[in-house]
Structure formats: structure tokens, C-alpha cells
Amino acid sequence: MIKLNDVSKLYERHVAVRNLNLEVHTGEIMGIIGHNGAGKSSTLKMIAGLIAPFSGVVEVMGHDMSENRGTPAVKKKIGFLPEESALYANMTVMEYLTFFGELYELPKKQTLARIEELLTGLNLPERTKLTGELSKGMKRKVAIARVLLHDPDLLILDEPNSGLDPLTAFFILNYLKELRKQGKTILLSAHNLFHVESVCDRVTILKDGRLVICDTMDAIRSTLGHREYEVLFHTSQPLDYPLVDGNYRVRTSDLNELSDLLHQISSEQWHLVNLSVHESALEEIYVKLSTLA
């Protein structure tokens, strides 16, 4: 679906993206994270064909986006949502989306049917309300509907949940999962790492315009994270373990130590209350990487 080969982007003397190699597969949700200025937005804009790379090749759906920023045919298959997406405040929701249907050169009947489908799917009933009177969450939903209006194969979303309340953000994340089931490829950036972790198939971490890692969360945790096991058990015997609500608690990352403890609990006929696994969240891993030189 997307291939970046040795892509760099310069703004005067500032290098925003440095020799980036990245591949996004068809039908997956890829998250891109990094600090402000890490190169996230520049990368998304190059893939969308809005800006050209300084060097390297950006390929989208088999088309080279590097030289002419993509042909109209490939651009019609892309939906791009910028972090700040102003709406026409004096238009109603229906007028606004109908206008963009005309820009996409969609038949009127198809446009109206698609608008109805999207507004229902996004739980946005304010069809006749001016967009300028909508809440921020509703405005973001209208912007997402606009991006989806022409049924693109590739969605590029820059901070889709920026500034939204938790309920609206949760709704949009679930909506993205439904779009993935439809075969859509989704590339998104987000500062909320919990959102990225909960919805993305793979995660790309950028730092100072360079690729740090790109992999599944399981693989990232295996390489950079930490796994700890917690055992809660009860016995009347005095033991040299911390007590929590009358139960002994043991935390360990050593599988041999865990195995020995579980064997002891079984052989001594102590009562096993709970066994749980705690893994590093993406936020912990990202903070760890950010402190490295």
C-alpha cells in the first residue's frame, strides 16, 4: 500500500525527516508517534501528496508520489484529515458535505446516500445545524465524514482525536476499527499513546525525523518493554513477603522464580488468590526511548 525509501524532507535548514524507510500494509492501522517536531505531520503530508520530499521515493498504491505528488486517480483513493480542520461555519452539515460531494464529482443521489450512511455511522444527528454552532467533537465527526465521503481506500489522519472528550474519542477509535474490517488502510498520528496502543496493528516511533522502531506492540514490548508477574496467595504461615489485604504478594519478572513459587503454593496447599501479568504500556516504552541519546 505505502512504501517510503530513504525519504528526507527539509524546510530551509531544518531537517524534518531523515532517510526514512517505512512500509504500510493494505488493511492495517499504522500509528505514528513522536515528540513535537519528530516529523510525523511532514511524513503524513508527503504520503498524501500535499508536499514533496527533498529526496527519496514515496510510493502509494503503486504510484510514485515523489515527483508530481500523485495523479488525480490515486489522490481520489486517499482521504486526508489534518490536525486542524476548519469547517465553513455558515453552512449546515448537509450543505457542507453535499458541497464536498460535488467537489469529488460524485452523483447527487450517491452523495446523499453516502452522507446519510456516514452521519448514521458516526452518530451525528445534527444534519440541519450550522457547522459553526457544533461542539468540537461534532465538528471533528463532520470533518471525518468529509474525509470518508468519496470512500477512499487509504485514510491519513493527523491527530483524529485532538481535543475531544473521552467518550467521543472512544467512539471514533471504534469507528476506525470498523473501517479496518471494511478493508481500509489507516495511517494515523496521535499524542494519546493509549489510543494508539488500543487501535493500531503496528506502531512507528519517530525521533528527530528518524525511524526508531516500527513493529507490533507485542514485538516492541519484547524488545524494549518489561513483563512482570504478580502472585497473590494466602497461608497462615508467616512468610517474608509483603501482605496486601491479608494476602501475600510476590512480583517477579523471572519465570523460574514464578514457577518455583507456584510449585511451592501447590505442594504446601496454600490458597492461590490471583495470578496476573503486567506489561509495559506504549507510554512507558516511549518515555524510555525519549530519554536515550
**Tell me, what CATH number does 277's domain have?**
3.10.20
Q: What is the pLDDT of residues 171-220, one digit of tens each?
A: 888 889 999 999 999 999 988 888 888 899 999 999 999 999 899 988 88
- Whether 19 maps to a domain, the answer reads yes
User: Are 151 and 30 members of one domain?
Assistant: yes
Counting every residue written for the chain, the total comes to 293
Among 174, 194, 215, the domain-final residue is 215
**Mean pLDDT along residues 12-17:** 89
Residue where one domain finishes, among candidates 215, 239, 266? 215
Judged against a pLDDT cut of 90, whether residue 272 lies above it is answered with: yes
d(CA 212, CA 24): 16
Which residues, 6 or more positions from 192, have their beta carbon under 8 angstroms from its beta carbon?
161, 169
Which CATH number is 22's domain given? 3.40.50.300
> Has residue 94 been placed in a domain?
no
**In whole angstroms, what is the distance from residue 54 CA to residue 8 CA?**
6
Does residue 139 form part of some domain? no
pLDDT tens-digit readout, 190-201: 888 888 888 999
260 and 204 together in one domain: no
**Model pLDDT, residue 292:** 59
Last residue in a domain, options 181, 215, 249: 215
Task: Give residue-wise pLDDT tens across range 222-259.
Answer: 788 877 899 999 999 999 999 999 999 999 988 889 99
Q: How many domains does the chain have?
A: 2
Are 206 and 255 part of one and the same domain? Answer: no
| Per-residue model confidence (pLDDT) at position 293 | 47
Q: Using CA of residue 60, residue 66, residue 69, residue 72, what is the dihedral sign?
A: negative
H-assigned helices in 232-279: 255-267
Give this prediction's pTM: 0.80
In this structure, the answer to whether residues 185 and 230 fall within a common structural domain is: no
240 falls within a domain: yes
Q: Domain check: are 158 and 281 in the same one?
A: no
135 part of a folded domain: no
Domain of residue 11: give its range. 2-87+145-215
Question: Does residue 127 lie in a domain region?
Answer: no
Average of per-residue pLDDT values in the chain: 89
Residue 25 has pLDDT above 50, yes or no: yes
169 and 243 assigned to the same domain: no
CA separation (Å) from 92 to 44, 95, 127, 261? Answer: 29, 5, 7, 65
**What is the band of 95 on the pLDDT scale with cuts at 50, 70, 90?**
very high
Q: Is residue 97 part of a domain?
A: no
Say yes or no: 168 and 80 in one domain. yes
Q: Is residue 121 part of a domain?
A: no
Element (H, E) at 115: helix 108-121
> pLDDT digit string (tens) for 32-86?
998 888 999 999 999 999 999 999 999 999 888 877 666 777 888 999 999 888 8
94-102: long-range contacts at Cβ-Cβ below 8 A with a sequence spacing of 24 or more?
Answer: 94/127, 94/128, 96/131, 96/142, 96/146, 97/142, 97/145, 97/146, 97/149, 100/146, 100/149, 101/149, 101/150
